[in-house]
Structure 1
Amino acid sequence: MTRPSLRHRIGFAATVVGLFMAILDIQIVSASLAEVQAGLSAAPDEASWIQSSYLIAEIVMIPLSGFLSRAISSRVLFTLSCAGFTVFSAACAFAESLPAMVVARALQGFVGGAMIPVCFSTSFLLYPGENRVKVSVLISLTATLAPTIGPSLGGWLTQALSWHWLFLINLPIGAVVGVIVWLTLDIDRPEPGLLARFDWWGLLFMAGFLGTAEYVMEEGPRWGWFDDAHIAELAAVCALCGGLFLWRAFTRPEPIIQLRAFGNRNFATGCALSCIVGVGLFGLVYVLPLFFARIRGFDSMQIGETLFITGLCMFLSAPVAGRLARLLDLRAMLALGMVLFALSCLWIAQLTNLSGFWEMAVPLGLRGAALIFMFMPINQITFGTLAPAEIKNAAALYNLMRNLGGALGLAAINSVVVWRGAAHRQHLSENVTWGRGNVQPWLDNLAARIAAAQPDLAPELAALRRLQALMQREALVLAYNDVLLLMAALFLLGLPCIALVARPRAAAGGGH
């Protein structure tokens, strides 16, 4: 197979940078949510929409990109996507209110979402054969490293400059990447006739289905799920849009998403596993910054420094992963990665109110290695038996499943924290009663210290409030541990899926 020209290799390298930017921006704000929230005068329970709005919109665009790349070509789609991402990054930086930020983030995620599947499909079109393993390691490292170092980079930018630079940093990089791709990546020809057959109703139903599903999962715990009329109505809209979308996908001669790729067993199983990996990829980077900020009181820089070990271990593991991909059955390598990830979650699920960098270093490093060992073989398993003509659409579906897993995972994490936090608070309150011999002396001692330090306060009431705050803190720590245990269980339960796939050829060229 002919090696890609230098021009095409430069263009592909630029798409990898675009992929990195698009995935990075999902989590770059996670360590700096407190600062962004303060800058926008938003309530703490509203700040999560700064992340969720981006992810929801990106999820809508990703499956649409397969159709658009065929219609207007990979080069044009990527360039337009990169340009729009850059423009709306500036809009995010200059937003002065939460509604303005949420709208700008949604538009940033929507237009930028096409960069991810275009990069994936380009790698499989340009690098068939043996070179695909090397390129797959690069893609895997980039796609998993971006959300992992997002909090670290975001924390540094916020502390060194301001939270506005979380978005301003995209401007020069986005401009350069867009120009390079426009000048170099002419790898396919557009089919403009497809635009005349564009399924606008299919797009509307797909956006309604994915958007309302994420909203219901995100807001359901806060409003008591279907006890709230608004949530119940949106759930009904979600079900209706989902059914109509599937009807359009199976009856239209040219649907916006070709679902027939799921007829390939390796592809369907790979997408299911990608969904599970998405939960781990985005979920842990969401939970731990919350823990460090709410329990330990870390600032954005300290959170980033603590999580940086994962990114470092990913770099160190990448050459090992590339070597193992040539020596091991890729299914065994994937199983190894999933087991290591589950072990890292079990290890971290021993959080206390004193847990910090040294308690986290080894399990977070193990998580970094596990991500590389999972992501690279999943790519090969998923695409290795598809025909070249199916790659563009399949890349969109594959990336949709990973990000959908991440989005639903984040929403589920919020639900579990609310549910288990309430259960732990009730259990703790039942055990901290006046009948326990050590409770009253502890309160009396604390009240005496408060009275000595701040005589103007009501010491008994202040002591009770302190006890309540301690129970709230410990309940939250236990809830985060429950989330980590459930995440470990999810990865272990996903292991049997690996037995469903046929062994892919390491040098598969994309054909059957």
Structure 2
Amino acid sequence: MTTLQKNESSPPGGGGGGAGDKLDSKVLLVAGVVVLGGIMSILDITVVSVGLQTFQKEFEATSAQVAWTMTGYTLALASVIPLTGWAADRFGTKRLYLLAVALFAAGSALCAAANSLEMLVAFRVIQGLGGGMLMPLGMTILTRAAGPERVGRVMAVLGIPMLLGPIFGPILGGWLIDIASWHWIFLINLPIGAIALVYAALVLPKDHVEPSETFDWVGVLLLSPGLACFLYGVSSIPETGTVWAAKVLIPAIIGLVLVAAFVPWALRPANIHPLIDLRLFQNRDLSVAVIAMSLFAMAFFGASLLFPLYFQQVRGESALDSGVLLAPQGIGAMITMPIAGMLADRIGPGKIVITGIVVITVGMGMFTQLTADTSYAYIITALFIMGLGMGASMMPIMASALATLREHTVARGSTLMNIVQQVAASIGTALFSVLLTNGLKDITARTPDGIKDQMGDAFASVFLVAAVLIAVCLIPALLLPRRKVKAADPTAMVGH
């Protein structure tokens, strides 16, 4: 077993549950570092999505070609996330966090300087390598800082960038492109990155590691390209319109074979330090949380792409106005997230998540009645209700997984949860893109009003699938712990 980051295990604020019930100032300072990095990473994804049409005009490219600016980032993310747990154990979370921020900022500067689409895609990959480490590292840093008794509250803090990114990304991106140029959607990351670097250098505790873990070369050669190939195939589904195209099947199958080959390798008794510790699945609470997170990410993140498309394609709104219309969802989540985090720590995440899933299902169900002229009051109300549910669901699920882990397994557990979320969100995005595309194909009306009506019906049908998927999340949610989380029992953990 590696002797890990002794000072990090006893972080500022006296994590590990001995610091009292509230998040003290030192833990909140550490949380500020993590939130800043998370905002920088997640905001960038949604900001760039607004610039896709601009990239088409600027580089005289097709929509499929400019989509690589998103796909390249996602593939880099998927490739680097598995390495994060090992690297955090090996080099320390502070050093790695500073490297991730610097890499992301450098990639942003290079993207702004790109003069061809090929260069932009290549530099987006560099961005993705930095961005992919920020969220799992943030989870690790915050969980260690606060301890298991307060992990629900720190997960609520970590949820802030996940909420703000999708809301303010389109608004910020549209505004920057309108008043300046597309280069500024990348240049905006430089001052944020500089502040994050200085902030992290001053606030994060010094790394004290005794590196002894060997690097799992076989694991990285199987898992990282396996995830990248699989996600490449899945992300090609919207472009091809079918899962049976060679562009989808060949990389996806290769990816699945590589990932499948990783499983027995990681579980070999002789492999005491696998790249991803699959023995963590012997922890019941973590396993249930992973299943719940998979279903939730597929449904929620997949369906999230439908909202701006509905506003723009059916209602004729601009990207900027679409972002503003989505704000009620974030407001709802920001109301319930801190309350849910506090209650999850006190009574366990199970009851909180069940309530949140029911509320999201109600909100998503309201969208099954969508038409081309549904009142904005109705839509805003539905989005607000969904936000209330999301704030009580997503981060408590993650908290239930991480709260039972010991210090030296937190990095591996947070890495595992981020891989699951990334893969599930990509699958959900592809699924709902194909469902919507196929639904819009059947539109045959000749008049503009008739087309709009049928488009509204197509969106409503896809939202029905999303509502059913969200409702299915209740099954694993019923198995989440409904008790106050206690410090992890070292004899209960396996794999180390």
Residue 500 of structure 1 corresponds to 479
Count of residues in Structure 1 that have an aligned counterpart in Structure 2: 469
Q: Of residues 419, 430, 434 in structure 2, which corresponds to 1:415?
A: 434
Equivalent-residue separation in structure 2 for 1:237 and 1:131 (angstroms)? 41
Q: Of residues 216, 230, 249 in structure 1, which corresponds to 2:233?
A: 216
Q: In 1, are the aligned partners of 2:266 and 2:276 still within 8 Å (CA)?
A: yes
Residue 134 of structure 1 corresponds to 153
Q: In 1, are the aligned partners of 2:82 and 2:224 still within 8 Å (CA)?
A: no
| Structure 2 residue identity aligned to 1:213 | F
Equivalent-residue separation in structure 2 for 1:499 and 1:509 (angstroms)? 22
Residue 45 of structure 2 corresponds to 26
Equivalent-residue separation in structure 1 for 2:263 and 2:198 (angstroms)? 37
Measured at CA, do residues 137 and 473 of structure 1 come closer, stay the same or move farther in structure 2, by a change above 3 Å? same
Q: Alignment partner of 1:114: what SS?
A: helix
Measured at CA, do residues 470 and 261 of structure 1 come closer, stay the same or move farther in structure 2, by a change above 3 Å? same
Q: Alignment partner of 1:113: what SS?
A: helix
Equivalent-residue separation in structure 2 for 1:211 and 1:418 (angstroms)? 24
Matched, 1:347 2:325: no
Measured at CA, do residues 278 and 354 of structure 1 come closer, stay the same or move farther in structure 2, by a change above 3 Å? same
Q: Of residues 210, 217, 226 in structure 2, which corresponds to 1:200?
A: 217
Equivalent-residue separation in structure 1 for 2:68 and 2:377 (angstroms)? 31
Q: Which moved more, 1:315-324 or 1:209-218?
A: 315-324
Equivalent-residue separation in structure 1 for 2:350 and 2:180 (angstroms)? 45
Question: How far off its partner does 1:290 sit?
Answer: 1.9
Q: Alignment partner of 1:256: what SS?
A: coil
Equivalent-residue separation in structure 1 for 2:439 and 2:32 (angstroms)? 44
Residue 50 of structure 1 corresponds to 69
Residue 13 of structure 2 corresponds to none
Q: Of residues 94, 111, 116 in structure 2, which corresponds to 1:92?
A: 111
Question: How far off its partner does 1:504 sit?
Answer: 4.2
Measured at CA, do residues 110 and 475 of structure 1 come closer, stay the same or move farther in structure 2, by a change above 3 Å? farther
Instruction: Normalising by structure 1, report the TM-score.
Output: 0.83
Question: How far off its partner does 1:494 sit?
Answer: 1.6
Q: Alignment partner of 1:152: what SS?
A: helix
Matched, 1:17 2:32: no
Q: In 2, are the aligned partners of 1:59 and 1:403 still within 8 Å (CA)?
A: yes
Q: What value does the CA root-mean-square deviation take over the aligned residues? A: 2.7
Q: Of residues 256, 259, 265 in structure 2, which corresponds to 1:239?
A: 256
Question: How far off its partner does 1:476 sit?
Answer: 4.0
Measured at CA, do residues 217 and 124 of structure 1 come closer, stay the same or move farther in structure 2, by a change above 3 Å? same
Q: In 2, are the aligned partners of 1:145 and 1:314 still within 8 Å (CA)?
A: no
Equivalent-residue separation in structure 2 for 1:114 and 1:381 (angstroms)? 21
Measured at CA, do residues 193 and 325 of structure 1 come closer, stay the same or move farther in structure 2, by a change above 3 Å? closer
Measured at CA, do residues 238 and 322 of structure 1 come closer, stay the same or move farther in structure 2, by a change above 3 Å? closer
Q: Which moved more, 1:28-37 or 1:237-246?
A: 28-37
Q: What runs of 5+ residues in structure 2 fail to find an aligned partner?
A: 1-17
Q: In 1, are the aligned partners of 2:328 and 2:384 still within 8 Å (CA)?
A: yes
Q: In 2, are the aligned partners of 1:7 and 1:185 still within 8 Å (CA)?
A: no
Equivalent-residue separation in structure 2 for 1:26 and 1:281 (angstroms)? 16
| Structure 1 residue identity aligned to 2:164 | L
Q: What runs of 5+ residues in structure 1 fail to find an aligned partner?
A: 433-466
Which aligned pairs between 1:160-309 and structure 2 lie closer than 5 A?
A: 160-186=179-205, 188-194=207-213, 197-220=214-237, 222-223=239-240, 225=242, 228-251=245-268, 252-309=271-328
Residue 14 of structure 2 corresponds to none
Q: Of residues 146, 170, 182 in structure 1, which corresponds to 2:165?
A: 146
Residue 84 of structure 2 corresponds to 65
| Structure 1 residue identity aligned to 2:424 | G
Q: In 1, are the aligned partners of 2:149 and 2:345 still within 8 Å (CA)?
A: no
Matched, 1:115 2:134: yes
Q: In 2, are the aligned partners of 1:218 and 1:412 still within 8 Å (CA)?
A: no
CA deviation string 1:343-393 (max 9, x = no partner):
211212333333574342111111211111102321332122222221110
Equivalent-residue separation in structure 2 for 1:230 and 1:323 (angstroms)? 46
Q: Which of the two has higher C-alpha Rg?
A: 1
CA deviation string 1:168-206 (max 9, x = no partner):
111111122123223332354234443xx3223322221
Q: Percent identity?
A: 27
Q: Which moved more, 1:363-372 or 1:143-152?
A: 143-152
Equivalent-residue separation in structure 1 for 2:80 and 2:167 (angstroms)? 23
CA deviation string 1:294-324 (max 9, x = no partner):
2333222211111122222223334443454
Q: Alignment partner of 1:267: what SS?
A: helix
